Copies of this chain bind each other. A is one copy, B any other.
Amino acid sequence: MSDEKIPSTLSLAILGLIASRPLSGYDLRKLFRITPMGHFSTSPGAIYPALRRLKQRGLIRGKVKNKGTLRPKQLFEITGDGMKSLRTILSEPITADDIKWNLDRLLLRFAFMGDVLGKESSLRFLRELARETNKHIVSLQKHLEDSGKKMNITAKYALEYGIARYRATSQWAKNIMRDISAR
């Protein structure tokens, strides 16, 4: 309870996917390999240990098929605790830190949000994302203005790159908000 273990991005991806339907480790590998969204390890050395950890923490449970065989196939499904934990993670407020360091994770949270928390939460999330992203853009621009003169050119370019990418994020969020609202 007190120590809400925050899982890694990979674990969060696994938990979120399993929340929508039971999946095996192999299924997850396939998903990560073929879908171009997100950057997740497809290596068994990452996925199977991650599944074991989620299981140990009681967030998922495994249904074993072909019990007799040497290598029983295991389908994992989410538990009540897992669902609660997922909901908690998806409900966390967006911090400036997230914007700067964990943008991918925020997008992952958004990806699962529609099914788990619903449309209103998704809209709120996007609004918050756009706002926080804009704040960050302003701070980057301020840095560019303040230190631009002393910065060498490449550093300036790199900073502009950051700004351009965050602008794309903000614009995307606004577009999707429109799209979701229209549905």
Enumerate chain A interface residues (CB-CB to B < 8 A): 35-39, 100-101, 107, 110-115, 139-140, 143, 152-155, 157-162, 164-165, 167-169, 171-172, 175-176, 179
Contacts and interface: CB of A to CB of B under 8 A. Distances in A.
A154 B125 CA distance: 13
B36 A154 contact: no
B168 A37 contact: no
Contact of A155 (B37, B100, B168, B176): B37
Given A112-B154, A154-B112, A107 B161 contact: yes
A35 B143 CA distance: 8
A35 B176 contact: no
Q: How many copies of the chain does the oligomer comprise?
A: 2
Contact of A167 (B36, B157, B168): B168
Residue with the greatest number of chain B CB neighbours at <10 A, chosen from A39, A110, A155, A168: A168
Given A37-B159, A115-B152, 19 more contacts: A36-B139, A36-B140, A36-B143, A36-B162, A37-B155, A37-B158, A39-B101, A110-B157, A110-B158, A111-B157, A112-B154, A113-B154, A157-B176, A157-B179, A160-B172, A160-B175, A161-B169, A161-B172, A165-B165
